[in-house]
Amino acid sequence: MACRWSQGKDHLLSDIIQSPKNKLLIKMRSDMKTIGLLGGMSWESTALYYRWINEGIRQQLGGLHSARIALISVDFQEIEQLQHAGDWQGAGQLLARAANHVEAAGADFLLICTNTMHKVAEQIESAISIPLLHLADATAEKIIQQGFGKVGLLGTNFTMEQDFYKGRLAKKYDLDVIVPDVEDRSLVHRVIYDELCLGTIKSESRQQYLQIIQQMYKNGAQCVIAGCTEITMLVQQQHTTVPLYDTTAIHAEAAVKMALDESSANTE
């Protein structure tokens, strides 16, 4: 009886698999890549990544489809202390270990869910064998597609002042990048760490950000990059007439495209 059941079961599974409908479903499932997220910096914006990526997959595939995601979320307190101590090597080592866990969980490519920690992107890339979908690249490509050449940049002081982000935009994409003055940079940085990373949204801070955006526009910026994944919590395109590039949304959109495009996940 066991032998006959086994044979019958094999035929039944074969019939199910060969069904045109199920063959299509199996193909769709096998073609979708697993998106690796290195998050927690802060978890407030990582939650947006998770939601927007899943919404993007559902929009593309319909039904009850959702994204295949491998997520490691680090303790941002540890990262923040290393950032402000200037210990980028230590922060890179911590994130590289976390990225190894993301890869081990089955991710086909990796997103670092923060602009600032792309400062250690090369250190992370060297520790993994899967491609890194670089946030600055995804943002710059969209800006160039829409014909802009001079951009304003908002973010942490690390992102606005150091070369790892601005330099990549300038050298790789020939973008002219301007940032706010010292006082405004300090305000933008403080709001990110003291308010947005804690989930606090203040209308006063929004108005201050909008004034800074407008000033950069007056200084020649054709558009502005919201170069911190938390900024989207405070300022969206509906708040300003200056073209605003939401890096969280752009990165999430690029992840959906890469997950569903069989060829793109093998390009790096």
Encode pLDDT of 30-73 as tens digits: 589 999 999 999 999 999 999 999 999 999 999 999 999 999 99
CATH topology of domain 136-247: Rossmann fold (3.40.50)
**Catalytic pick among 139, 228, 247, 248:** 228
Distance (Å, whole) CA 96 – CA 18: 42
Q: What is the mean pLDDT of residues 142-171?
A: 97
Asked whether residue 15 carries a pLDDT value surpassing 80, the answer given is no
Sequence-ordered list of residues with C-beta below 8 angstroms from that of 69, at least 6 positions apart, any chain? 34, 35, 36, 37, 50, 53, 54
Tell me what pLDDT residue 72 has: 98
CATH topology of domain 2-134+250-266: Rossmann fold (3.40.50)
**Domain edges within the chain:** 2-134+250-266, 136-247
Tokens 């050449």 correspond to 149
A 10 A CB-CB count for 81 gives 13
Tell me what pLDDT residue 116 has: 97
Residue 228 carries which DSSP code?
S
A 10 A CB-CB count for 164 gives 18
Tell me what pLDDT residue 18 has: 52
Q: What is the mean pLDDT of the chain?
A: 90
For residue range 190-246, what is the model confidence (pLDDT) as tens digits?
Answer: 999 999 999 999 999 999 999 999 999 999 999 999 999 999 999 999 999 999 999
197 catalytic residue (yes or no): no
159 catalytic residue (yes or no): no
For residue range 63-75, what is the model confidence (pLDDT) as tens digits?
Answer: 999 999 999 999 9
Q: What is the DSSP string of 80-143?
A: HHHHHTT-HHHHHHHHHHHHHHHHHTT-SEEEES-SGGGGGHHHHHTT-SS-B--HHHHHHHHH
**Catalytic pick among 114, 156, 159, 247:** 114
Tell me what pLDDT residue 31 has: 85
Whether 2-134+250-266 and 136-247 share one fold: the answer is yes
Predicted TM-score (pTM) of this structure: 0.85
Distance (Å, whole) CA 143 – CA 223: 8
Q: What is the mean pLDDT of residues 108-134?
A: 98
For residues 214 and 61, the answer to whether their CB atoms sit within 8 Å is no
List of long-range contacts for 90-97, beta carbons under 8 Å, 24+ apart: 91/117, 91/120, 92/120, 92/123, 92/124, 93/123, 95/38, 95/120, 95/123, 95/124, 96/120, 96/123, 96/124, 96/126, 96/127, 96/128, 97/127
